[in-house]
Amino acid sequence: MLIPYSWLKEFVNLRKPIEQVAADLSLAVIGVAGIKKTGGEQVLDLDVTYNRGDLLSVVGVARELAALYGTAIKGHPEKFQPPDSLSQLAVKNDVKLSKLYTLTKISKLSYKITPKQISSRLDAAGMRSVNLWADLTNYVMLEWGQPFHAFDAEKVARRDSTLSIEIRPAKRGEKIKTLDGLDRQLSTEDIVIADRRGPIAIAGVMGGEDTEVDEGTTEILLEAAIFDPLSIRRTARRLGLRSEASSRFEHYLSPDNLYTSLNKILKLYQVYGKGVVSGFASVGEKNIEPYSVGLTHEKLARVAGEAIPLLKARAYLERLGFKVMSSEKGLLCWPPHFRGDIRIPEDAAEEVLRLHGYENILAKPIQTTLEEVRENKLESGRDRTTSLLADLGFSEAKTYPFVSTFSLMHLQTKKLLRLKNPISIEAEYLRPSLLFSLLEVAKRNMARRKEGRIFELEKIYPKKGENLALGVLIWGEENSFLTLKGVLEALGDKANLKLEFGHAKKEEFFHPVKFAEVRVGSEQIGIIGTVHPHLARAFDLPESAFFEIDFERLARLFQPWRAFESIPTYPEIIEDYSFVLPQTRSLADLIFEVRAASPLVREIELKDRFETKSGERSITLRITFQSPEKSLSAEDVKPIREKINRVIQKSGGTIRS
């Protein structure tokens, strides 16, 4: 926000150079982005934080400087008190939409050019001069922080002779041509100012072209209101119409300040426009219920890090406009009407510290008791996993948790979680898996890389409930499924877990055969498979493989050490089994059944694999037999060998001679 230095001096005695004032403000109040010069005027460029809406005005900053330097604000501003003789204007208001709405009719106006002092100050504050009537509303808004809007009363009367004004939600399908000449489609979440014919302004955002004031205006309806901040923010954001006025409506506004600033602007209309107040209406809460915040000596000392005398703290708060009462426990503080951000004891303590000076708090070494910190398995597992994948040549992706419209073509929306208030059509549904997020990343990178390795460790949102998942995708590599299986086994080794692969229910996004369930013991933790060829082609990808692990389950199962196994005492017997297996049969299921054939089967290794001319798979499994109790003989292994051959034949395999 830009504030001319000379304007501040009208409200507070400032004998320090602007550079010193800027430094003091930065230390105690708000950030100062810099000092500018506009037309010979020195201007402070202030960076106002969201909680301090009261500083979006010249008077607000002047109050802070007066408190900081221990001086008083100049003048005694008065509130507008409407005479009983004024005609009552017809206004209908819903306090949920507008906490307070006032409408003042100013008649017998005589137009003239905006005075130089006002137009030059508007220019220095970053606002252009439009005409006298609009310039006066902007001038008082910058000075007091209360936005105004002026309607041409005669134009409103031509639309509706009763001058009946209503503050209401926009109706479905309603439109309005705003002051910038554009037709705006309204939403039912927008607040509008309307007469009987329809909207004449978008509340707190922009007025309508039909009722715009100009040099020929002789009668004005002047609006001063406090609208619902969230509604104004949503509307301004949706329409791309954030302005000086809307930014102030988005903050806390005070009824007291409204009536004070209304009194100021009416005087300016009388001085510069010869106007006469002829009508008035006020609907809503005219007063704020006062509330107190307690600040104990212990709380203040804990926040400050040292003891600050309560008498000094009380003096600081009173300089800031607080009403303060002392008690045995500490201070009871009533914030001034313009400080809606003071709600809890920490807020009051911060006010004391600002005026005391943070630089005056003595630096002390941190004093605390160190306690044993238990290992966070989830975070430890995350670090180990991401490090391993990076070492294996994978790049980490970070994507939004939504399903894009492109991916939505491959999913059934009834199986997805839908947001109640999506910010766009591209963010309407939450992803049930990381598969589509990673496929889209791969699709975008295909122009630069024909093969790649990526992973993401983030939340997914299946209908059964959200969980943290690890998704890993490989594309464009030869034997991508087997490569990815090796990566998953390396991850199991890192976690000191033995992963097993077995039969899984059919998944439409995976190859019918090259697909398996991932287990640790009897607990399923994920899936692995080749991406279905149709899906890969839809994303313009070559052969791709993907696995997804429930990372919360995996992290819970992580073991810090591998279980010790004693070195076998007795020798093993190693045999190779070669057979041909159709593509439609699951090798993972076959291996699972072979392992279950006998407790003497200690290890199974896929020794060889290739595709025959007929399109079938030629497989060689190397099986190790071993007993912890004795040396095995050929007779011990013979029945197991026969059982394994039957398992192979039952699974559709043909044993090679």
How do residues 301-330 score in pLDDT, each as one tens digit? 999 989 999 999 999 999 999 999 998 889
Q: pTM for this structure?
A: 0.62
pLDDT at 150: 97
Domain covering 293-360 in this structure, CATH number: 3.30.56.10
Ordered by start, the domain boundaries in the chain are 2-69, 87-284, 293-360, 377-557, 573-655
What percentage of the chain carries pLDDT values higher than 70? 100
Q: Decide if 432 contacts 422 (C-beta within 8 A).
A: no
Which superfamily is assigned to 87-284 in CATH? Phenylalanyl-trna Synthetase, Chain B, domain 3 (3.50.40.10)
pLDDT at 293: 95
List, for residues 200-246, the tens digit of each pLDDT value. Answer: 999 999 999 999 999 999 999 999 999 999 999 999 999 999 899 99
Does 143 have pLDDT greater than 90? Answer: yes
Does 441 have pLDDT greater than 90? Answer: yes
Task: Evaluate whether the domain defined by 2-69 bears CATH number 3.30.56.10.
Answer: yes
List, for residues 28-84, the tens digit of each pLDDT value. Answer: 989 999 999 988 899 999 999 888 999 999 999 999 999 999 999 998 789 999 998
Q: Which pair of structure tokens corresponds to residue 110?
A: 């005589």
Q: Which positions ≥6 away from 327 have C-beta within 8 Å? A: none
CA dist 146 and 253 (Å) reads 7
Does 563 have pLDDT greater than 80? Answer: no
Structure-model confidence comparison of residues 174 and 567, the more confident one: 174
CA dist 331 and 228 (Å) reads 32
Does 565 have pLDDT greater than 80? Answer: no
Does 104 have pLDDT greater than 80? Answer: yes
pLDDT confidence bin for 609, thresholds 50/70/90 = confident
CA dist 42 and 55 (Å) reads 19
Does 411 have pLDDT greater than 90? Answer: no
List, for residues 499-510, the tens digit of each pLDDT value. Answer: 888 777 878 899
Q: Decide if 21 contacts 14 (C-beta within 8 A).
A: yes
pLDDT at 515: 87
pLDDT at 116: 95
Fold type of domain 573-655: Alpha-Beta Plaits (3.30.70)
Kindly report the backbone phi and psi dihedral angles of residue 405, in degrees, each rounded to the nearest multiple of 5, phi listed first. -65, -30
SS (HEC) of 185-251: ECCCCCEEEEECCEEEEECCCEEEHHHCCCCCCCCEEEEEEEECHHHHHHHHHHHCCCCHHHHHHCC
Q: Which positions ≥6 away from 147 have C-beta within 8 Å? A: 137, 141, 204, 224, 244, 245, 248, 249
Question: Is 293-360 the same fold as 2-69?
Answer: yes
Range 377-557: architecture per CATH: 2-Layer Sandwich (3.30)
Helices (H), 398-517: 405-408, 435-445, 480-494
Strand order in the sheet with 165-169: 91-92, 165-169, 191-195, 198-202, 206-207
Q: Average pLDDT, stretch 252-276?
A: 96
Burial class from Cβ neighbours inside 10 Å (0-12, 13-18, 19+) for residue 66 reads: buried
pLDDT confidence bin for 590, thresholds 50/70/90 = confident
Strands (E), 335-407: 395-396
